[in-house]
Amino acid sequence: MKNNLLKSPIMPISAKESQYGVDPSHIKKRVAEMPDMVSVSLKDLFPDLPDVIYPGAEDSLEMLYETAKEEIRKIDMGKIKSGDSVNVLASHHGFTLYGGEPYAILLRAIRDIVEEKTGTKNIRLRAGVGMRFRETEEYIRRYKLDEYYNGKAKGMAPIDPGIPIETEIGTLYGLKAAYDADWIIHAHHTDVREVHFHRQIDKAVKPFGMSYARIETRSTYHQNLGPRAANFIARAIFESNFVQEKFAFAAFLDVGPHGVIGVDADADLYALNDRATFIGCQLYGKVMHLFGKIDECIAVLDFPCPVPYVFSAGVIYANFAGANVDLYDMEKPLPPYTWYTEAFYKKNGKPMLDSIPPLNPSIKMCVHNYAWTGYPSAFFSEMIPTVVVGAEQAELFDMEPMNMTYMNHATIAKSTDAAMEFAYNVTGTDKVIIFDGAMGGLNCSKSLAEFLIEVAPIVSKEVEEDLLPKWLKQRGVDISVLEDIQK
């Protein structure tokens, strides 16, 4: 056993003030601080992960800003004339990655280079959200983007005024505020987040059907086409004449499960999507496959974002709850968790079809030390024994329209220590995985770390030799793109 690979825990980002979470003063202890917790570096688990810019040296964020400007400068912006209006389209999730500052830096770099190259000063930031309508308004304030965009920054919610967009599959609806400019720039990232929904199909295109879209479109995605056809909605909107006439280019923060790798800007979104597919399948796919090998554990939620989105090594809790199934394998129609799956549970709590897999049986208990409301999460507490730390968090969930029944199934512990003690006693396992967004590695118990270190080389081999070729073939992506990226 390579015990020298066990390191002290990586302290997660602090609790944040938000209408979606409890006051930070209520978060008295983080699970990473508890005895027997360690961290494992992702580079130690998977030595072939590419080098990262951030986390890194003290000046790494300045380096990222310079890299971003350099990459964006390479784009031909000839069609944007001085005086034209430009909307930089952003999405909430970018701000939850690596402390949020890297994505804010990308948004600043886009603004600066568009002004530098085109002369236009009419550059606006339009930041869409998921289900937390105020979320990007909070980020715009936190990262002072309103000042940076000279007062022209605003959040957009899916219930805001919309516009019809004629597509190959009929009328869909976008947000008016997203498209009220001569040009749009798509500012996104390669983090995989909801693999259960998008299955790494057209992931780079997804915001056109989601954070830049109205409720009608988003509901089409989640209810009308089925779990593996849904992403077509985003492509249909993106390929519409309306969007194509406005689309200038895309600029992505290239991130992996271990940090910010660089910036990728391209006027061809599908070329960028192919590269993002490699990152999603190869880098995140390994962590996802590794987590699928965990046989038993206590899962701890400890990050300022909604229950399903807290993450460990780039994998969100919702995907860990489905890690008993290969989420990248398109032959598997329904992941253990996705809204289509959730919809297909009968009144007696049993799935309608025998082929519907259960939520990850290796999660023996969930300790909800710190996570936000703002996403319907009752399915998790209904299916996985859950203990929530502190009556204040329980109260917040009871008051939130999407989570009125979350606490119907969860129990409350007065402190982090009491919750963990309860979980150890009831489950009998000492393996703990902490979803606290630790940067560069993952926090867990010593016992789980030892297990992960042992199986990582096998996982890496299985992904490279068997799974990755299958995943890419299912997505119609040519493996030669990988060679280009490696160059």
Partner 1 sequence: MKLVSIMAKVDKDKCIGCKTCEKLCPVLAIQIEDKKAIIDEDACRGCANCADRCPVYAITMVKREEPFTVKVDVKQFPKEAIDEICRKAHVNPEQVLCYCVGTRAEEVAAALLSGAKTPEEVSSMTGMRTGCTIECIQPMLRMVEAAGNKLQPIEGGHQWYGKTITAWELSDEVKDKYKSKGFFFDEDKELLDQIVNLKLEEGQNEK
Judged by beta carbon, residue 137 or residue 254, the one nearer partner 1 is 137
Kindly provide the b/e burial profile for residues 275-305, where b requires at least 16 CB atoms within 10 angstroms of the residue's own CB: bbbbbbbbbbbbbbbbbbbbeebbbbbbbbb
- From the CB of 441, what's the least distance to partner 1, in Å? 32
**Can residue 329 be called a binding residue for partner 1 (CB under 8 A)?**
no
CB 325 within 8 A of CB 482: no
Nearest CB to partner 1, comparing residues 98 and 379? 379
Binding residue for partner 1, selected from 350, 415, 426, 458, defined by CB under 8 A: 350
Tokens encoding 349: 């709590």
Tokens of 286: 């390994």
How many Å apart are CA 95 and CA 159, to the nearest integer? 21
Least spacing, CB of residue 229 vs partner 1, in Å: 4
Shortest spacing between CB 239 and partner 1, in angstroms: 10
Q: Read off the amino acid at residue 264.
A: D
User: Comparing C-alpha atoms, which of 51, 147, 146, 130 is closest to residue 96?
Assistant: 130
Residue closer to partner 1, measured from CB, 323 or 334: 334
By CB under 8 A, tell whether 63 contacts partner 1. no
Binding of partner 1 by 391 (CB under 8 A): no
Instruction: For residue 288, give the nearest of 456, 40, 111 by alpha carbon.
Output: 456
Which is closer to partner 1, CB of 150 or CB of 171?
171
According to the binding rule CB under 8 A, does residue 275 interact with partner 1?
no
Interface stretch with partner 1, choices 46-54, 142-150, 308-316, 327-335 (CB under 8 A) = 327-335
Q: Exactly one of 11, 55, 180, 339 binds partner 1 (CB under 8 A); which one?
A: 339
Query: Smallest distance from the beta carbon of 88 to partner 1, in angstroms?
Result: 21
**227 is a site residue for partner 1 (CB under 8 A):** yes
Q: 265 vs 251, 374, 468, CA distance in Å?
A: 4, 31, 25
Distance separating alpha carbons of residues 270 and 197, to the nearest angstrom:
19
| Of positions 112, 216, 417, 462, contacts partner 1 by CB under 8 A | 216
Give the type of residue at 183. W
* Cβ proximity to partner 1, 95 vs 451, nearer residue: 95
Give the chain's length: 487
349 binds partner 1, rule: CB under 8 A: yes
Residues 118-177 touching partner 1, rule: CB under 8 A, are 131, 133-134, 157-162, 164, 168-173
Count the Cβ atoms, other than its own, within 10 Å of residue 164: 13
Place of tokens 């869909």: 172
Q: Does 336 bind partner 1 (CB under 8 A)?
A: no
| CA separation for the pair 411, 393 (Å, rounded) | 11
| Contact status: 404 vs partner 1 (CB under 8 A) | yes
As measured in angstroms, the least distance from the Cβ of 291 to partner 1 is: 23
Instruction: Determine the Cα–Cα distance for residues 231 and 46; give it in Å rounded to an integer.
Output: 30
For residue 317, state whether it binds partner 1 (rule: CB under 8 A). Answer: no
Q: Determine which residue in the list 220, 282, 362, 460 makes contact with partner 1, applying CB under 8 A.
A: 220
Sign of CA dihedral 271, 175, 132, 141: positive
Q: Does 12 bind partner 1 (CB under 8 A)?
A: no
Query: What is the size of the binding site for partner 1 (CB under 8 A)?
Result: 66
Gap between the terminal Cα atoms of the chain: 34
The answer to whether the bond into 102 is cis (omega within 30° of 0) is no
Name residues contacting partner 1, limited to 175-214 (CB under 8 A).
199, 201-202, 214
Question: How far is CA 362 from its chain centroid?
Answer: 22
Shortest Å, Cβ 403 to partner 1: 8
- Contact residues toward partner 1 (CB under 8 A) are 131, 133-134, 157-162, 164, 168-173, 199, 201-202, 214-220, 222-229, 231-232, 235, 330, 333-334, 339, 342-350, 352-353, 376, 378-379, 398-405, 474-476
